Chains A and B, each alone.
Chain A
Amino acid sequence: MDFTLSERDRMLQKSIREFAEKELPPRMDRMEETGEFPLDLLEGLAKMGILGVITPREYGGSGLGHLARVLVLEQLGRICPAIPMSLEVHHMCVYGINTWGTEEQKKKYLPALADGKTLGVFAVTEPGGGSDVGGTQTTARLDGNDYVLNGRKCFITNAHVSDIWVVAAMTGEGRKGMSAFIVEKDFPGAGTGHVEDKLGLRGANTGELVLQDCRVPKENLLGGEGNGMSVALETIVKCGRTGMASVGLGILNAVLEEAVKFANERVLYGKPISRLQAIQFYLSDIYSDLEIARLLAYRAGWLLDNELPADAEATLAKQWICEAAARSARKAVEIHGSYGILKEYPVQRLLRDALVTVPAGGTAEIAKVVLSRQAMS
């Protein structure tokens, strides 16, 4: 087995690291304060090729693939996890359209999702439940050349900062009754609702989409009528879970760096607290979580690039890494003592960010159900 990253991967890792270290910190206070995504960053994200990292070159992307996406999101998340949170959902929109879209749909939407004018949305969750995809209540009724959509989508990342939404709605009954649509923000009847005020990942916009007699042209049906469940599940499992794993991985990088920095600087009993075994045990735990997380996330990306089965691996990566990020961030706060709860120390934000990743994109409990099936298979 070869665990080394290629020259290309190492170079793109370095380039994104430089971009993140310079471009993200100046925007972070405002993101925390307002809970808004920094739209002025979109142009830079597009130029860097980050928005189009899994978009094929013929549609304006770099087509570097899923491992590259993990590396990119990790480096961004090391500085500001809210950014890769937004981007991972943006990539889900790209993934859905690229995998199931017609040539016309790809030509129309993929370049627009790579050039920095907007972010993408992938909207399945409803007030009635996110884990229960089959419980979707939004309806789509064919009327002439349009589908007419009615319903509400909630906890939707990028809801208020996106012009292009992939939306799941019921065109019939049961598993085969779900269809996916590409909805433009400016379609009649398409609107946004409540903006969520979150504990963490505050700079990633989260909110409601409202569809009131929203008219969507027939040609915007994605993947054919009745295939919405496949569109939703495959995108969530493969792209969404690998993406969330990458966000958690980015957080773990930052958690270890902040913990080590503080432990080396903080002097108690005449020496840095990093010389105390109690603190060393915490650092060892965090380091272990980071190293395991990296292996899990990179494997998920690598499997996807090689078109190998990755559902269980992506689910494992998401579930394990996001919980590891939360427990390690908690330990980093412990290392900081009372400083850890002060806003000027990043660890409190990292803990809040990590807590948000745990249910985002699929709860740990749903993931464990999936993993138990794999265990028993």
Chain B
Amino acid sequence: MEMIVCIKPVPDPKQAGKMTIDRETGTMIRRDVPSVINPLDRHALEASVRIRERHGGRVTALSMAPDDVLPVLKESLARGADRLVLLSDRRFAGGDTLATACVIAAAVGHLGTFDLVMCGDETTDSGTAQVSAQIAEFLDVPNIMHVDDCGVSPDGDLRLHSRNEEGAFTAEGQTPMVVSVTADINEPRYVTLMDVLDSEGKEVLILSADDLPLEESWIGLEGSPTRVLELFEPERKSRAEMLSGTPAEQAAVLADRLRRLGFRNG
């Protein structure tokens, strides 16, 4: 099975507290926070690698990003991708989800035939959860989101389980398709020292806008109908109250507060 996994470098969510906003330009200042592969994309990558391990095929990690984050993206090769394709061009900068999906879909088409494009449901930096559906639309193939289980049936069809806040369903269908996954789909494996070593000989392909069948008006800021009006930090309200006294005194105060809030024994 020919699989393409979309990965995005995002500021390390564990260090999100260091992120600041440039009030003049209304953009996030990312330089103080190192980038990592978007956590849900790691689950998508793991799911693809597991399919390849059972059924054969090839996994391509695909990302649209500035080329200085290439070392971060190379982790995908240690995580089991067979090759990494980076779409890097200054003209891609400032793209919204539509412009991004347009570039990715063009790259998927450029890379040849595919069976499955996998994404994480959303990214931790923008969290729009739109790109996988938009890629599917550009490629004119089915799309299923919120996938928390996937497998391949004996006749080669994909069997997917999807769950959202309203319910769950199982779908079976022929490839090609685009799916996006939740964190429940798997537990990504650790990258071992051997994986790091083995990743070094793998193919890395860097493509620019000129390599893809794109028009300038489809990409970057020009191709982006979305306008961000304002970026702001939510007001932080600390409502924590520190109790003092002996542990027994603190417990008594806490129990009293809980009772007043309506909690009852039993």
Contacts and interface: CB of A to CB of B under 8 A. Distances in A.
A296 B191 CA distance: 27
Given A14-B75, A15-B78, A8 B197 contact: yes
Nearest to A72: B193
B193 A10 contact: no
B169 interface: no
A44 B75 CA distance: 20
Contacts of B191: 11, 14-15, 18
Contacts, number: 47
Interface in B178-201: 190-197, 199-200
B41 to A, nearest CB: 15
Contact of B193 (A7, A12, A18): A12
B71 interface: yes
Contacts of B71: 7, 10-11
A15 B76 CA distance: 12
A62 B74 contact: no
A7 B197 contact: no
Interface in A14-60: 14-16, 18-19, 44, 47-50, 53
Given A7-B74, A11-B78, A48 B192 contact: yes
A39 B185 CA distance: 30
Contacts of B194: 49, 62
Interface string A89-132: 00000000000000000000000000000000000000000000
A233 B249 CA distance: 59
B190 A8 contact: no
Nearest to A46: B192
Contacts of B196: 8, 11-12, 15
A369 B71 CA distance: 44
Contacts of B75: 11, 14
Interface residues of B, number: 14
A15 B190 CA distance: 7
Contacts of A7: 71, 74
A48 B74 contact: no
Interface string B71-88: 100110010000000000
Nearest to B36: A14
Contacts of A14: 75, 191
Interface in B154-208: 190-197, 199-200
Interface residues of A, number: 20
Nearest to A16: B193
A140 interface: no
B203 to A, nearest CB: 16
User: Which of B75, B190, B192, B193: most chain A Cβ within 10 A?
Assistant: B193
B78 A48 contact: no
Interface string B47-90: 00000000000000000000000010011001000000000000
A366 B53 CA distance: 54
A322 interface: no
A15 B74 contact: no
Given A62-B197, A64-B197, A11 B74 contact: yes
A159 interface: no
B192 A8 contact: no
A50 B193 contact: yes
A8 B193 CA distance: 9
A68 interface: yes
A275 to B, nearest CB: 17
Nearest to B189: A47
Given A7-B71, A11-B75, A18 B190 contact: yes
A367 B191 CA distance: 37
Contacts of B78: 11, 15
A62 B198 CA distance: 10
A274 to B, nearest CB: 14
User: What 4 pairs between A and B have smallest CB-CB spacing?
Assistant: A49-B193, A15-B191, A62-B193, A48-B192
Interface of B: 71, 74-75, 78, 190-197, 199-200
11 contacts: A11-B71, A11-B74, A11-B191, A11-B196, A12-B193, A15-B195, A16-B193, A53-B193, A62-B193, A62-B197, A68-B193
Interface of A: 7-8, 10-12, 14-16, 18-19, 44, 47-50, 53, 62, 64, 68, 72
